[in-house]
Amino acid sequence: MVNVLKNFALFESGKRYLFAAFVIAFVVCAPLLSLLFEAIQGSVGHWGHLLTYVLPHAFINTLLLLLGVGAVVTFLGTGAAWLVTAYEYPGRRFLTWALLLPLAVPTYIIAFTYLDILHPIGPIQSLIRDVLGYSSPREFRLPDIRGLWGAILLLGVVLYPYVYLTTRFMFLTQAASVVEAARILGETPRGVFLRVALPLARPAIVVGVTLALLETLNDVGAAEFLGVKTLTLAIYTTWVTRSDLAGAAQIALSMLFIVVFILHIEKRARQRQRYSLVQRMRAMTPTPLYGHHVVLAWVLGAIPIIFGFVLPAGYLVIQVFKRMGQEVNISNDLIQAGFNTLAIASVATVLTVSLGLVVAWAARRMRDSASEHSLGKLFSRLASLGYAVPGTVLAIGLLGPLLMMDQVIEWVMGLVQFQMTHLVVLGSTAGLLLAYVIRFLAIANGSIEAGLARIPSSIEQAARLLGESSSRTLWRVHVPLLKPAMISAALLVFVDTMKELPATLMLRPINFETLATLLYGEASRGMYEEGAIAALMIVLLGLLPVILLARAQQRSV
């Protein structure tokens, strides 16, 4: 048996990382396998009920929501990216980073704020009635934002930065000679954008739209607040409200087909793009704007910023000041929720970045043979699958593995005559941490892999020639060089963990509240003022990675 293990290279220093990457990839894939098993175990009668009463309506709503959000984020993100890349005007650099601000506002907070802002007796409609001379909501009221169209618009104005980021990077790195050649040949600015720049940027647009759609699928708070019954919300209510785990697993399995379809479309869109450029690429020269065109550019650039960040953030600030004026002391529940959020997000960040480093290094260093290098890449891709799985689906899939872990722990404790009185992993912060790590490992792995790609392999080879082992090469040579990438990954993982709502709602321990779940509970009870402080804290913490991304954007101009 020992010889078998040695042949598997478990005890060889260099290949320990490959084995560790295999274990991590297996843990990431385990919830999906458990989900399939749980769905198969469910009664066939569930499918009759689901196909008749649940899936058709939820599927249509989800499909329409995805199509609508995809259209909005494509229009806003691509237009904003072209506006700050192709034209030069006063204040352009400010718009470049300000257009990222809506990324700090989670989807459930945008719904939470606008429900109160646009309430029939809220500030907006009250002001309109005062201006028009009406005295009652019965005389004049705007259409109710609750519904599919409201969800599309609100999700669109906070998710468009995904498209803006990827598309702007593509516009900046496109060969300027291609755009300039089109201009010399007499193409209008509109023609340059539609016939030259847009087709070249299509892969980047598809990547950004894919990320936005995955975030839309992950949403549960905004959908519930706005009354849109999506597949994600159906999973949550089927399990939590009806205590029907098998039915929830079957809905989650059907939802995975949508995720796979979205990823397939994204992959096909990128594979079909081919470029043949022999000259070195350089950024295009922005066209100067003057007069009323500057005003128009500012108006177009400010609209998504105002609706996606300024209005909701301003509303939260006002509500917090009102509450602080009425009641100076902050509730103990809010203080405890803030502490829980910071603590669990910090631990999850350390674990996720550490495991991401292991997976990225396994894919990097396995160059001794083609098969080992391919295995490292395969494990890296499998370990990144969690980000594509919505939080509700991941939570359902984790129930089986977590319960199995508790059974193993109970069996081991039984061997030493120790009586277990409660579950150790399921329903504890350990299970929640595992969900966070699986969900956001792709962020850490991708960021660290990108950092490793910028480090010449000659540095690694020199360290190995000097007698350093694989582990010592990683910790003494590469980790210091990877600090910027690891810090960026840590910030993004921390904020995403802090904002995560679906998985937290379904896997949190009893009486364990984070800022996100506290806000969700207060908003579900209609106590919008009570949740304003928690929402503002989430937005303020979410500004940190936005500032980081803005600095990166400024350096690329």
The CATH number of domain 42-273+289-327, selected from 1.20.1050.90, 1.10.8.80, 1.10.3720.10, 3.40.50.300: 1.10.3720.10
pLDDT at residue 283 in the model: 62
Q: Which residues of the chain have pLDDT under 70?
A: 1-14, 42-50, 173-177, 180, 186, 242, 267, 269-284, 324-330, 365-373, 417-423, 460, 467-468, 470, 526-530, 549, 551-557
Instruction: Count each helix (H run) and each strand (E run) in the chain, helices first.
Output: 27, 2
pLDDT at residue 151 in the model: 93
Residue 147 DSSP class: S
Q: In the chain, what are the domain boundaries?
A: 7-31+329-524, 42-273+289-327
The position carrying tokens 């379809």 is 261
The CATH number of domain 7-31+329-524, selected from 1.10.3720.10, 1.10.10.60, 1.20.1050.140, 1.20.990.10: 1.10.3720.10
Contacts of 51 (CB under 8 A, 6+ apart): none
Backbone angles phi, psi at 287, to 5 degrees: -85, 125
CA distance 129 to 303: 23
CA distance 400 to 313: 40
Strand partners, 288: 88
- Residue 214's region, left for phi above 0, alpha for psi from -120 to 50, else beta, is alpha
Angle at 517 between CA 240 and CA 502, to 5 degrees: 55
pLDDT at residue 554 in the model: 61
Q: H or E element: which one contains 389?
A: none
Please tell me the total number of residues recorded for the chain in this structure: 557
How many other CB atoms sit within 10 Å of the CB of residue 43?
A: 12
Q: Is the Cβ–Cβ distance between 486 and 354 less than 8 Å? A: no
CA distance 506 to 523: 17
